[in-house]
A = this chain, B = another copy of it.
Amino acid sequence: MNEKTGKLKMTPQRIAIMDYLDGNTSHPSADDIFKAVSGRFPTMSFATVYNTLDALKSRGRVLELTIDPERKRYDPNTVSHHHLICVTCKKVVDIHKDYDIQVEKALTSDFEIIGKHIEFYGLCPVCQ
């Protein structure tokens, strides 16, 4: 992980990637992002996609999600929220709601809890 937190050097490629991510709720993978921007930048490389994602991650502007066992997915929405995943088609929707869950001390193994993320599993309207 790139630990830089200073100013982002803006390049046309980065602008294209950030434009694609801005407001995007599809939780794209690096490959999705690559496909989306390589139309406009035929020379776009994965190195640039991952480099930009690292830069955004280390600045807290993108979250790396673990909701898909096959590949990493990225979420430009950094407001704390949860995800509801269709177990059949893998569609993912956001759940914007804070659930206050207090874990009793006896269960924490002396960890200090600083956050949480809930994965809900279900069937989307199409797959039901």
Known A66-B66, A95-B107; judge A116-B114 contact (CB<8 A). no
Do residues B117 and A119 form an inter-chain contact, with CB atoms below 8 A? yes
The oligomer's copy count stands at: 2
Do residues B113 and A116 form an inter-chain contact, with CB atoms below 8 A? no
A66 to B107, CA, bound (A): 21
Do residues A113 and B122 form an inter-chain contact, with CB atoms below 8 A? yes
Do residues A96 and B101 form an inter-chain contact, with CB atoms below 8 A? no
A113 to B103, CA, bound (A): 23
Do residues A122 and B111 form an inter-chain contact, with CB atoms below 8 A? yes
Task: Tell me, rounded to whole Å, the shortest Cβ–Cβ distance linking A94 to chain B.
Answer: 9
- A41 at interface (Cβ–Cβ under 8 A)? no
